[in-house]
Structure 1
Amino acid sequence: MTSITEKLSFFLVLFIVILSPYYRGIYPDYYKLPFLTLIFLAFLIYLLAMVRKKERLFQLSLPEMFFFLLAIVYLFTIIVASSKYSSVIAFISYIAWAFLFWLILEFFQKKSLKMFLIQIMVCNAGVLSLLAIFDAFHFIPERFQNFLGMSFWGLYFSGRLATAFQYQNTSASFFAVCLFLGIFIYLQEKNWWKKLINGVLLFLIFFGFLFAFSRGTNLIFLITLLFLFILVRKKEYITSVVLILSSLLLPSIFLQIELDRCLSQALPFDFLVLFLIGLGSFFLLSFLFLPNQQIFLVNKINKKLVFFLILLVILGIECFFVFFIQFDVKNFTFVRGFGEKGRDISFETKNVIYRFTFYRDALKMIQKKPLLGWGGGGWAARYFSFQSHTYYTKFPHSFYLNTLVESGVLGLVPLLFLLFYSLYICIISTNQNQSISIIPYLGAGVFLIFLHSSIDLNFAMGAYHIFAWTLLGLLLSFYPLQKLKLSIPLIIPLLLTLIFFILSIFLGNAEYYYQSGNEYRAGNDFVHSAKAWETAVRLNPWHDNVLYQLSNLSSDIYLQTKKEEFLNLALEKNQKALNIEPYNYEYYRHRADLFLLKGEVDEAWKDYKYSMELAPMVLGNYEKILFAFLNLLNSQQKSINPNTLSQIKVYTDEVFHLYLENQLKSTQPNPPSEALNFLKRDIDTVLGGGNTGNSITED
């Protein structure tokens, strides 16, 4: 890095990596899009620096080529996408991740820069753990809970640390990876005061990992630990890792239950005392095995493989008593998990059963479109049609199944090649070079990220994408990857990046106005919400949610004013939303409601029926359809056509019959809800000439 432009691009990348976890894991689009804009800006600045150096061709290594190939597959999925807007966002996101991956490989060639970034990530993990502890004790003032748009609320709930990622399992995965990196830094640090700081960070990271308490992450961590031992190979290095982990695990066996009680009951002083006891115990145990003493110990026991195996057995026992069974110091008993919370995350609960249900339903979707999938956001757009029973999730809890759902086999192949190629050269290089380095620990971190993401929704969050691709880029930057000179003039990627940069600004601003409109609408400010949403549509004509909200707003105004123009406007906006997302059962139900207001009962029924076909297991859909019929009868009982009354009777019976029929296909059938029964009864009552006063369905 010699020019100012290169340095500016470098610091932008650092800024992105450091801050991304604090914005709710940049999960919603209104958080993610500004970060995509920053990535495009960093890449654009770097390309300008290349132009100034008079470079003519754009060069890519093999991993970079496959990453860009994955992004290109997402471009083609837009053609077949179930949700055009979601697929566009997914494509732009993957282009941004590919650009970030490329920048990491370009910037972090020097070992000192690699270690600097890794140290920053470890510090970040320690800060995230500390902030979650502060939130548990309500130490973060309300005025700072949304500091500069960062979310410092909800960092601890349900007795588990969620951190700024807002999801415990993802936080646990993040901490587990940083734990491997932190162990290496702690072991290699020679300066005593730096070692002290790194020790505090390591203990905070372990605490965050432990109290995020994710069963899946714990199991994956133990598997990854074995993978790390395979990479490290030398017994003295493995012994060092085992001893450091033992220094962390042993105090936790006795303190975990009490620390959990202090967190859940918000007892900061008691917590601080116990935390310091644990930290002191960790330092005492770890400093008993300083590097020179470890070597002395290993030299003595090298001839005795039995002792080495005993160390591993002890580590396994410690892990079992920390991750699965805890010791209650007060009652001198062992309890499973964190008492009742342990049962909540055990194998016997519905959480595991749900995961297998998601996977089975995802496979149904993949069988329908195996080649190119359903496009970005395809699962969220279409899973209601493939449900085995009623549930709600926007991600199938598996990165690979989600990739297959969204981009089919054509998308999964380059992704798997990128991952296996990276781990392959990591394993080969560590076998050839047995000197101690960060590479095995980085390899273990990457292994954990992509193994855990096979059973969880980590990659639903933009910040996790940034974290994962940054670590993978750092790992690959240790190897001499040959650049392939493509016959692509540099001006082409420069112009394309400029287009993506401008597009992301428009999309980000549209999302801002969409959220503003939602806030105005919540306060019943029709005028300002309409203005905000119209601005959002002008900035992003493909935002189906905005169009749907405008349709709802127009129909509400029609109900107040009875002006036909607002009803027609509602239909127009709803149709535009359906053109963008043609499989949304709520959009079809809403259009049916509008047809019902126009008195076109047959047209309304077509949409209601299709809505039920799109979401056969969603009970609320059936209830809202019957509620619309009941509203029509109550508002127009005296003026309504007798033929319409008989139609509504037939349609009501069919809705009820369809619900019962679809529940017979469900793997977890549910009887009709109380509300559905009351709605049908009230419709029958009105059709029979009665009224529905004091009914449960009045509201």
Structure 2
Amino acid sequence: MSNPVYGKSAKPSSGIDPKNQISVTRWILVIGFILFLLWAPFQIALFNGQMLNFEQPIYWAVLISTLLMFLWIASYYKEIKLETQRDWLLVAVLLLPLTYVISLISAASHYLATNMVLIQCIYAVVFAIGVYILQSKQINHIIHLAILGISYVIVGFGLLNWLGGPNLAANLVGWFTSAVQDGKYIDAVMVDSNGPRLTSVFQYANTYAAFLMALLFASIFSLVRSNKWYGQLTHGFMLVPIIVSIMLTLSRTGLVLLPVVFVVLLLFLKPAKQILWIIYCLIAGAATVIVLNPITSAGLALHEQYSASTALNGWIYLIVASIAVAVLAWVIQSYAASRLTNGVQRWSDRKLSSLWIPIGSSIVAIIAALLLLFTSLKNILPDSIQVRLENINFNQHSVLERFTFYRDALKLLADYPIIGAGGGAWAALYETYQNNPYTSRQAHNFFMQYLVEVGILGFIIFMAFMIFIIWKYIRGYIRQSEQDRESHFLYFIITFSILVHSILDFNMSYAFIGMLVFLGFGGMAAVMDNKPLKKLSFKGAGIRYLYVGAVGILSIFVLFTSVRYLQSSYAAVDAQQVVQKSQDFNEIKTALDKDLSIRDTHPDSLLLMAEIYQQVYTQTQDEQYYNEAMAWINNGLEEEPYNKNMLKRKISLLQTKGENEQAFAIQEEKAANFAWDIDWYETLISQAFEYGYQALGNQDTAKKDEYFAAGLQAYQHVVEGIEHLKTLPEGQLQGRAFEITPAIALNAGKIQFMKNQSAESAATLKQGLTEDMNDPANQELARWYLASLQKAGQTDEQVYNQLIGIQPEADEQIDQLASLNF
């Protein structure tokens, strides 16, 4: 059945190969590429730092993509030229990993930065492959179907986890992914303060919402485009599951940006298509509203306890609604779309006719949002979604926290302006620049995070690359006939949707999402408005072989690196398992040597190696083991100077050796890197008192004053920090606890007491007191507090009576303390 809206392409668009002659090598490349896309979402989880379970899939992805690159070279080496704008994009994309290589010079974490170089290599491979294979009309059609098919599998996988089938879902994918633990896929349904939230393969609800937003529009586009009844039914059937999934993510960012992206995409369509898009959104949205409550309730109940009847009930609602929408979509496409096209044809021919419906849609969307937010209409939605909608405002904590992240990122950029602080810079450095004690290894803005990683230079290169492709694609899109525009619009939908959402979140930290975006760039570049570059045109076989040779050499190097890193990672995991089973030093060391002989600064193994050497030194007092442990830590800190665990291990080593002065110097010097880590400051203040008291006993007044001054300076930092937190905007959460702990109050108060600052000491000590006078630590605080008051000529009868009631001998102890004169 012919499609009355789009019709059949009259002629191939720019860049499309009309011959459709595909060699065996190219078929192997295409099949391998599709399998890679299917494998990736279940393997490439969020890359979030020093976690061995996350790095292995990344290295496997690098290895697979490199093998695909060799197939690409074998398939297209005769066609590679450097004559046109599209040709030179294959050179430009190599600059993206190169900027990450350059940023290694100033990388805050060599480990994270190296991994990001490899991830950028994956993106470059995906782009290069996409540019060439998507010039074939036949392959392009296959990739379209593959992207949608894989995406629908992800949606089904998520809903299977929501509606009572997490074990079944895990069994379906557990044979090829390490993301299954204890019989379930990790965080396919995450739980936070808002309750259960659907995430499917992403472990993060907001990123899943971004993916679903792109998929929703891609599905509607494919529904309208499809000429086959089974295609129309399939895409129509998936609309309700996609919208239901969006709602179950409880993502406010997704709900806010979805209508924005929708309106922008409408601008690219003729009025007939705009109306169809709106009709399908309204139909699927209405069906979703009808079934959302029972599906949400079923999922929440199943999360607590499995019930076959509850699960079946949820599936029935979902499937019936989906079938109803699918049938309606097929009927509309078959019988109403052609009449709609003819009915608005005269309107479509008018200038700026495509603007009126998006403008009207924007007004309707605003009205609908106001009704949902401020009237009883919101009662049709589940309670959890109502709460999320009510909290959509610029003063709620997630918005305020994002603004804080961005300001802190600019502070970081000011210190690393040109080439950035390397891949993973935010994760490595955010504690040094943060405004308050939040915990976030992601900046919640892809562009801001990219900027701090590669600096202004790398950011300009990426933005130029991205903007050039989108601009050239849109320019070509405008000039194409209506029939030709449909071939690659799917790639624009996916890329634009994800990038818009990534302004407010860290979706691109997922390698699979990054692959989709760069495949989208490749798809747009395949048919962009392409022009020859006369000044940069190099004809002849020589330049072709030069480019292919350079890419081939780089690919071999990346392949070798990925294999070595995989060996290292597996060895590290084996070493962790050996530690759990064995206490034998040589056996553990042998296991760690396998890893560290490949990557001598692999953080997890390096820390473990230093720890076992320290343990042996503690037992034997053999200097050789101490020196080995210190050598490993110093080596690691050269590459990871902001690694808190390595710094703590070095401090612990020095203290074990009795080098307390050096240990304290590191504790004090590095405190600025962890300005909101209350544990760090608690330890610093405690050690300042302890070492100062020892110096006092040794009659070393200068050292005593030095330690006491450092302790009081750290205490003042905590006091000022607490005052600063009071200035946070109302609604913004401060993050981790940052307060005067009993240990801080006790040790800072003791220091003030020994500096004959009795009134100040009493005020400080009082902050640490609790009601539990049975606690020995609280009793000590009370004794020093009462002694300080006595020395200042004051008293606290309530605390005194509580203490004496528990510890009668404390009266004499208080007098003894008060009689001390420093």
The code of the aligned residue for 2:187 comes to G
Shift of 1:176: 1.3
Structure-1 separation of matches of 2:639 and 2:121: 22
Give the aligned partner of residue 10 of structure 1. 30
| Equivalent of residue 244 in structure 1, options 272, 276, 280 | 280
The code of the aligned residue for 1:470 comes to L
Give the aligned partner of residue 30 of structure 1. 56
Gaps of at least 5 residues in structure 1 are none
Distance 1:294 1:58, change over 3 A: closer
Query: 1:286-305 residue pairs with structure 2 within 5 A?
Result: 286-300=329-343
Give the aligned partner of residue 536 of structure 1. 595
Give the aligned partner of residue 763 of structure 2. none
Give the aligned partner of residue 106 of structure 2. 80
Distance 1:54 1:350, change over 3 A: closer
The code of the aligned residue for 1:283 comes to A
Does residue 489 of structure 2 align to residue 456 of structure 1? no
Structure-2 separation of matches of 1:574 and 1:428: 55
Does residue 209 of structure 2 align to residue 172 of structure 1? yes
Greater mean deviation of Cα atoms: 170-179 or 642-651:
642-651
Query: 1:82-481 residue pairs with structure 2 within 5 A?
Result: 82-141=108-167, 144=171, 146-151=174-179, 152-158=185-191, 159-232=196-269, 234-266=270-302, 267-300=310-343, 312=361, 316=365, 320=369, 338-342=385-389, 347-436=394-483, 437-479=486-528, 481=530
Give the aligned partner of residue 21 of structure 1. 41
Structure-2 separation of matches of 1:696 and 1:5: 75
Give CA-to-partner distance per residue, 1:96-153, whole Å, 9 cap, x none. 3112211111222112211221221212222112212222244232873743225323
Shift of 1:213: 3.2
The code of the aligned residue for 2:641 comes to P
SS at match of 2:440: coil
Structure-2 separation of matches of 1:299 and 1:308: 17
The code of the aligned residue for 1:177 comes to A
Greater mean deviation of Cα atoms: 71-80 or 190-199:
190-199
Does residue 548 of structure 2 align to residue 490 of structure 1? yes
TM-score with structure 2 length normalisation?
A: 0.75
Greater mean deviation of Cα atoms: 138-147 or 307-316:
307-316
Distance 1:592 1:66, change over 3 A: same
Q: Is the 8 A contact 1:133 1:263 kept in 2?
A: no
SS at match of 1:539: coil
Structure-1 separation of matches of 2:74 and 2:358: 56
Q: Is the 8 A contact 1:30 1:508 kept in 2?
A: yes
Structure-1 separation of matches of 2:205 and 2:712: 44
The code of the aligned residue for 1:674 comes to T
Structure-2 separation of matches of 1:301 and 1:575: 73
Structure-1 separation of matches of 2:343 and 2:23: 54
Shift of 1:602: 1.6
Structure-2 separation of matches of 1:326 and 1:119: 42
Distance 1:655 1:517, change over 3 A: farther
Structure-2 separation of matches of 1:11 and 1:695: 67
Distance 1:352 1:697, change over 3 A: farther
Distance 1:396 1:308, change over 3 A: closer
Give CA-to-partner distance per residue, 1:596-617, whole Å, 9 cap, x none. 2211122112110122011111
Shift of 1:242: 0.9
Greater mean deviation of Cα atoms: 382-391 or 219-228:
219-228
Shift of 1:461: 1.3
Shift of 1:255: 2.7
SS at match of 2:237: helix
Give CA-to-partner distance per residue, 1:56-111, whole Å, 9 cap, x none. 98997233333222222222111122222322222232223112211111222112
Greater mean deviation of Cα atoms: 219-228 or 381-390:
219-228
Give the aligned partner of residue 51 of structure 2. none
Give the aligned partner of residue 572 of structure 1. 631
Structure-2 separation of matches of 1:520 and 1:324: 56
Does residue 633 of structure 2 align to residue 608 of structure 1? no
Greater mean deviation of Cα atoms: 536-545 or 170-179:
536-545
Q: Is the 8 A contact 2:252 2:392 kept in 1?
A: yes
Shift of 1:468: 1.0
Shift of 1:411: 0.8
Q: Is the 8 A contact 1:20 1:26 kept in 2?
A: no
Structure-2 separation of matches of 1:328 and 1:258: 18
The code of the aligned residue for 1:273 comes to I
Structure-2 separation of matches of 1:673 and 1:588: 24
Shift of 1:581: 1.4
Greater mean deviation of Cα atoms: 133-142 or 374-383:
133-142
Distance 1:461 1:250, change over 3 A: same
The code of the aligned residue for 1:296 comes to R
Count of residues paired in the alignment: 688
| Equivalent of residue 588 in structure 1, options 604, 629, 647 | 647
Query: 1:40-79 residue pairs with structure 2 within 5 A?
Result: 40-48=66-74, 61-79=87-105
TM-score with structure 1 length normalisation?
A: 0.87
Q: Is the 8 A contact 1:133 1:156 kept in 2?
A: no
The code of the aligned residue for 2:100 comes to Y
Structure-1 separation of matches of 2:268 and 2:41: 29
Give CA-to-partner distance per residue, 1:422-458, whole Å, 9 cap, x none. 2212322232224141444432322212121121101
The code of the aligned residue for 1:428 comes to R
Q: Is the 8 A contact 1:253 1:321 kept in 2?
A: no
Structure-2 separation of matches of 1:334 and 1:42: 46
| Equivalent of residue 747 in structure 2, options 680, 683, 693 | 680
Give CA-to-partner distance per residue, 1:262-320, whole Å, 9 cap, x none. 21112312212321342144235434523441231454466789996898379627963
Greater mean deviation of Cα atoms: 647-656 or 304-313:
304-313
Q: Percent identity between the aligned chains?
A: 17
